[in-house]
Amino acid sequence: MAIKSTPARYGAVAILVHWTSALLIIGLLMSGFRASAALDSATKASFLRFHVPLGVLILALTVFGIIWWQFADRKPESLPGDRLQTAAARAVHVLFYVVIVGMAASGIGMLALSGAGSVIFSSGTAALPDFSNYAPRTPHGFGARALVALLVLHVAGALYHHFIKKDRIFARMGLGR
Ligand code: HEM
């Protein structure tokens, strides 16, 4: 498989970034919602010990992806479809970048303002602060729901191409031939 994309399919780097990001986002949504629902500080900290490094990792991967597309690679041609579908798919892709960077920024903001990092990553028994007292908690919560909505739209679009239009969209992203 070529490192860079061709007009017909994504290259190895783009495929690796795409599926790694998908796994990280699922892990982040699950650990984030579990942390926020946790009733005691120790349980919340145990989810955040996993959540925070994943959040920093997805930020680094997303910045790498933006640089990769800007300077090193070119997206394959859009699959045939009407103008509205093509525009909707592009909008969802751009919004993914915006929401992921916003989520990472608000998450880092929450930790910086609350000083919770030392509690999460220490072996002590200090209680975590109430994150809802810090402004970035609100956009972090909205962003999480927006990300779930974007994922639903993105997966629905891919399944529509696969099952209805039968244009082998998954093969473009490395699944199948
Ligand atoms: C794309 C990246 C991220 C995603 C998808 C994500 C997802 C989530 C979700 C779904 C929640 C629960 C929201 C709710 O119930 O309203 C949450 C909470 C939280 N996240 Fe993230 N997050 C990301 C990045 C980060 C980063 C980078 C940090 C810290 C450096 C962070 C720290 C937190 C904290 C402290 C909470 C609050 C838990 C609570 O209120 O109990 N997140 N996140």
Residue ranges of domains in the chain, CATH in brackets: 12-172 (1.20.950)
The distance of Cα 1 from the centroid of its chain, to the nearest Å, equals 25
Average pLDDT over residues 2-18: 97
Backbone angles phi, psi at 18, to 5 degrees: -60, -50
Tokens of 52: 């925070």
Q: What is the pLDDT of residues 108-161, one digit of tens each?
A: 999 999 999 999 998 778 899 999 999 999 999 999 999 999 999 999 999 999
Average pLDDT over residues 40-51: 96
pTM score over 0.75:
yes
Q: Does residue 136 line the site of ligand 1, with CB under 6 A? A: no
pLDDT surpasses 90 at 79: no
Q: Shortest CA distance to 158 belongs to which of 145, 143, 170, 140?
A: 170
Average pLDDT over residues 30-52: 97
Which segment, 74-78, 121-125, 173-177, is predicted with the most confidence on average? 74-78
Q: How far apart are CA 97 and CA 82, in angstroms?
A: 24
Q: Does residue 35 line the site of ligand 1, with CB under 6 A? A: yes
pLDDT surpasses 90 at 61: yes
Q: Shortest CA distance to 99 belongs to which of 49, 151, 36?
A: 151
CA of 140 to the centre of ligand 1 (A): 6
Q: Does residue 98 line the site of ligand 1, with CB under 6 A? A: no
Atom of ligand 1 nearest to the CA of 147: 5
pLDDT for position 124:
74
Residues with Cβ within 8 Å of 10's Cβ and at least 6 positions away in sequence, in order, are 18, 75, 76, 172, 173, 174
Q: Does residue 61 line the site of ligand 1, with CB under 6 A? A: no
How confident is the prediction for the chain on average, in pLDDT? 96
27 contacts 54 by C-beta, under 8 angstroms: yes
- Model confidence at 177, pLDDT cuts 50, 70, 90, reads confident
pLDDT surpasses 90 at 48: yes
